[in-house]
Chains A and B, each alone.
Chain A
Amino acid sequence: MFSLPVLLYLSALLFSIGIYGVLARRNILVVLMSLELMLNAVNIALVGFGRVHALSTTSGEHSGQIFTLMVLAVAAAEAAIGLSLLLLIWRKWKTIDLRELCRLSG
């Protein structure tokens, strides 16, 4: 088996790539996808920690995996809401450019 730090570094790397996507891109679709990417990076860390934690318990513990399942549920809800907001924005203003939504700030 590979070691835990390797997994955590992988998770941190994916998370930073997601941060780059959120900050640098102007396409709302890609920003939403980068958010999913970041959630997935966290999932890797959670499953890795849970796998190591299972070693120290007698019957195998699943807290890490249950956390991950909840993150999955949140991600699904987030995707649904985010994409419907995107559709609304597209219908009203015919744009998926974040920069053109500056007027939302009033």
Chain B
Amino acid sequence: MLRFTLRRILQIIPTVVVVALLIFVIFSVVPGTFAASLFADGKRAADPQMIARLIEEFGLNKPLMERFVTYVTDLAQFDLGTSFRTRQPVIDLINDRMWASLKLAIAAMVFALAVGVPLGFLAAMRPGSILDTVTMIGAVSGLSMPQFWLGLLAMYLFALQLNWLPSFGYGNGSFQNLILPAVTLGVTPLALLARTTRAGVLDVLNADFIRTAHSKGMSEIKVVRWHVARNALVLIVTTVGLQFGSLIGQAVVIEKLFAWPGIGSLLVDSVAIRDIPVVQGTILVIVLWFLVINTAVDLIYAAIDPRIKQE
């Protein structure tokens, strides 16, 4: 198990290197420069002299290869560069924003897990029941509703009409400020989890070994506890892993909507003004987050299913 763990963790490194390379290439070929967008306020043309000065300052006139070497050597020392806009180290900017994002993503996932998995489980235990029908209709609606719209509705209802919760903002990290964005963000993974849990449990319930378990004279509760739960967990963990990774991406919309100071809104703002070092750094961090989640999922798999360590 230790070797397996170590191997999976080490596998992150080459992936990060390849991704860093890709990010660099992509942002070297996109049109438009920071300098140009900075001065293009729509009223007057940017001053060519100013642009030239900025290009000089950030070393954008150096050959691509040279810039790449600088980028990689900096990266190896965990230096993600300096923001064009604020002149702060990118790593500091990300550090300021990342924890808010993580908090939001984790809260959303906890909400989705706490509600989605039990609902899916109960629905599978009594297929065709009222609970099952209601859950599945709810799940489809949850998947179909655009998050920004749902967020607006929630804001309108709970903040403006009922006045129970603050409508937006980080509120110095208070729990009340977290509820609306986390619930809104959690609806999609919740719906998916309810559906996959139901499908997974139904699948397990039809397995031959469940019939064996019944033939041993087990009560239904024991069958579920001893034989269904663990087997259904595999599918649940997969879904959680996939959703957790993409939550950060989906959070961009929610963070904008609720003025949440997360990494998603940092990314959007930076793309708009072509602040390439920040964009590169943010994407790299998001990719790293994906990889960490994936690795964690693989390790959890191995802990659940003895057949996986075999390979």
Are A and B subunits of one complex? no
